[in-house]
A and B are shown apart, each in its own frame.
Chain A
Amino acid sequence: GAVVSQHPSWVICKSGTSVKIECRSLDFQATTMFWYRQFPKQSLMLMATSNEGSKATYEQGVEKDKFLINHASLTLSTLTVTSAHPEDSSFYICSASLALSSYNEQFFGPGTRLTVL
C-alpha cells in the first residue's frame, strides 16, 4: 500500500515552453502533497505544500507564478513549470501524506527528471 506515482518519469523540453508533472496517490487519499526539487549531489528542497481544494503554500524563494501547483482531487496534484529555462533543469519529487493529519508519514514518488534545452 501507500504507492505514489509520477508522470512522466523524464521530460526534455525547449526553453520557453511549459511542462506539467503529475503526482498520483494510487491506493490512498492524500489530503496533503508536497513538491521537492533536487539538484545533482544535493539534498531535497521543499518547494511547496499543496492541500486538496486550496491554494498551495510556497516556500520562501520559490516563484509561485513559475511553478504552478494544482491539487484538484485527493489523489492527484500537478506541478506546471511555466516558461521553463535551463536553470529549471532538475529532479522533481512529490510526496503524499495519508489522512488529515499533516504529521503522518510521507510517501514519495519515483521522481521526474526535467531537462530544459
Chain B
Amino acid sequence: KQEVTQIPAALSVPEGENLVLNCSFTDSAIYNLQWFRQDPGKGLTSLLLIQSSQREQTSGRLNASLDKSSGRSTLYIAASQPGDSATYLCAVKATDSWGKLQFGAGTQVVVTP
C-alpha cells in the first residue's frame, strides 16, 4: 500500500529565506506527483504537477523535483514571503489506483515578517 510522508510537519522561517519541503512515497510505481497549497479552512490550490517521466517542474518562485526511484520529491520556494504561509500537501497518483490520489499529512509553513 502506498504511503506518503511529509517532513517536517511544521516549519517557521523569516521572510526572504528559501523554503525546502520534503515528500517521500513508498511505492515508486506512480503516474504523477502533485503539490498543493491549502489555506486554513479552504480547499486545495494546485501548485505543480510532475509526471513520472519528468525530473522537475517550475512555476515562478516554485520549483519541484521528483526522484521516482528513491521515492522522493522536494518543493523549493525561493525568497519566501508572509503570503506563502499555508499548509503544503503532496499527493501521488499510483499507476494502479484508477486515478486516486494518496495524500501526505502536509507541512504547515509560517513565514514571519
Contact = CB atoms under 8 A, between A and B. Distances in A.
B44 interface: yes
B101 A102 contact: no
Given A44-B89, A103-B31, A103-B93, A109 B43 contact: yes
A106 B42 contact: no
Contacts of B41: 91, 111, 113
Interface in A83-105: 91, 93, 95, 97, 101-105
B98 A49 contact: yes
B43 A111 contact: yes
Contacts of A42: 105
B46 interface: yes
B49 interface: yes
B43 A43 contact: no
Contact residues of A: prevailing secondary structure: strand
B99 A93 contact: no
B46 A46 contact: no
Interface in A22-55: 32, 34, 42-46, 49
B99 A110 contact: no
B98 A102 contact: yes
Contacts of B45: 108
B103 interface: yes
B50 to A, nearest CB: 12
A110 B43 contact: yes
B103 A44 contact: yes
A6 B99 CA distance: 21
A106 to B, nearest CB: 6
B105 A43 contact: yes
A68 B100 CA distance: 19
Contact of B103 (A43, A97, A109): A43
Interface string B75-104: 000000000000001010100001111011
A79 to B, nearest CB: 15
A97 B99 contact: yes
Interface of A: 6, 32, 34, 42-46, 49, 91, 93, 95, 97, 101-111, 113
6 contacts: A6-B43, A43-B103, A44-B89, A46-B101, A104-B99, A105-B49
